[in-house]
């Protein structure tokens, strides 16, 4: 795979993590399980296991529900932002591992994408809610769909 494409995909999957922190690793885990990403022989081979697929899928569903609760902290607050960077880093490293590239660089690019996605997603959601005068929940559900589709598109690129 072309280096430029791998870089774009790593930042992109990080961006997905910025929108929904568990969606990116769930997408990567499913892709590894389905054989779309070859992680065999890498330190990240566990991502294709049945356990990883189940855990990340359940965490993703939980995150979709938690995002609708008023007590959920802002994604740009320190702890959620770090979680998105870590999630994006793990996911980006997986994409780089699948392309036989540096895990460290993939992790850094994924983490960068996670931070970008967190701030961009926050701003976009706030602006769409204000512009359309819709309930935040409706836009949140739309954002869930965007994260899932974007994640699937990224991990399905070969």
Q: Where are the domains of the chain?
A: 3-155
Answer positive or negative: Cα dihedral of 4, 1, 20, 147: positive
Average the pLDDT over 19-26 and give the result. 97
Question: Would you give the end-to-end CA distance of the chain in angstroms?
Answer: 7
Residue 39's alpha-carbon distances to 6, 49, 50, 108, in angstroms, are: 15, 10, 14, 18
Q: Decide: pTM greater than 0.85.
A: yes
User: Which pLDDT tens digit goes with each residue over 68-119?
Assistant: 888 888 899 999 999 999 999 999 999 999 999 999 999 999 999 999 999 9
Cβ neighbours of residue 150 closer than 8 Å, sequence gap 6 or more: 12, 15, 16, 19
């Amino acid at each position: 795979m072309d280096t430029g494409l791998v870089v774009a995909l790593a930042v992109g999957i990080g961006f997905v993590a910025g929108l929904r922190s568990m969606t990116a690793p769930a997408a990567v885990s499913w892709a590894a399980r389905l054989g779309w990403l070859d992680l065999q022989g890498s330190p990240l081979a566990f991502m294709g296991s049945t356990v990883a697929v189940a855990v990340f899928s359940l965490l993703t569903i939980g995150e979709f529900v938690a995002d609708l609760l008023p007590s959920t902290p802002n994604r740009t607050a320190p702890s959620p932002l770090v979680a998105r960077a870590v999630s994006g880093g793990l996911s980006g490293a997986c994409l780089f591992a699948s392309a036989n590239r540096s895990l460290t660089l993939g992790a850094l690019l994924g983490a960068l994408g996670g931070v970008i996605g967190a701030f961009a997603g926050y701003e976009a959601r706030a602006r769409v809610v204000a512009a359309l005068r819709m309930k935040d929940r409706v836009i949140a559900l739309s954002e869930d769909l965007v994260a899932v589709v974007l994640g699937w598109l990224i991990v399905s690129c070969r």
